[in-house]
Amino acid sequence: MLVLLWPQRAPLLPDSSRTSVRFTLWGVPRVSAEHLTARREQILAAARRCFLRNGLHNTTMQDLIGEAGLSVGAVYRYFKSKNEIINAISQTVAAGLATTFDEVATRELPLLEAMSAALDAVDAQLGPDGNFPLVVQVWSEAVLDPAIGAIVRERYLELRRPFRAIAVQAVARGELGPDTDLDATAAALFGLLPGYALQRQLVGSPDKETYLAGLRALIS
């Protein structure tokens, strides 16, 4: 809580030769958590629009500030750099996908059904309001910028984790052999998702059912 100290002179005592000063404390209203969250989301939404319109590499902090319609100080209160904004956006997207993939793993579906459910989450990111076009830009920046590369690495290791549980379940059901390398299989299963998304983004095919038919042929 911030306060303002307003000096006031106290009455002089008859024999006093000094001036006493007392202070009155005035409370400053505290900004609500809802307001802070709304401002943060306003900045991230503006950044997403800029990145999709101008490209991640070509967008500056000044562009983001102008798009958000806020003062320089207001934006820098939440994010000190463009990389911090990229990190926040990627964390939000990855957290949503990780939750979905965790739920898929928890359902203990047969392998192809689990992959179908995971691909549904990918399809959602390919739609008009999806984030995959921005993801592709982040990939390209990750090759050039070690800081962004570290962000991508952390997010993708998080997203890969549920597929190990899916592989464990597939082994237990006999869908995969008992000597299956679980970490290698998790990496391969997860790798199918960006491969699918990239083809859908660039050439418009295959659709999910065709992709699953190919996967079925590989594991049968």
| pTM, 2 dp | 0.77
26 forms beta bridges with 4
d(C-alpha 138, C-alpha 149), whole Å:
9
Q: What angle do CA 137, 141, 143 make, to 5 degrees?
A: 125
- pLDDT by 10s per residue, the chain, length 220: 444 444 455 455 455 445 555 545 455 556 688 888 899 999 999 999 999 999 888 999 999 999 999 999 999 999 999 999 998 998 888 899 999 999 999 999 999 999 999 999 999 999 878 889 999 999 988 898 898 899 899 999 999 999 999 999 999 999 999 999 999 999 999 999 999 999 999 999 999 999 999 999 998 8
Same domain, 139 and 186: yes
Same domain, 101 and 75: no
Residue 45 CA, distance from chain mean position? 12
Instruction: Give me the CATH number covering residue 68.
Output: 1.10.10.60
Decide which of 58, 80, 102 is a domain's last residue: 80
- Which residue, among 216, 210, 202, 166, has the nearest Cα to 187 in the 3D structure? 166
Query: Could you list the residue range(s) of the whole structural domain that residue 176 is in?
Result: 83-219
Handedness of CA 50, 94, 100, 136 (dihedral sign): positive
Answer whether residue 186 is part of any domain. Answer: yes
Helices (H) and strands (E) in the chain, counts: 9, 2
Cβ–Cβ under 8 Å, residues 146 and 64 = no
DSSP string of 190-206, one letter each residue: HHHHHHHHHHHHHH---
Cβ–Cβ under 8 Å, residues 195 and 218 = no
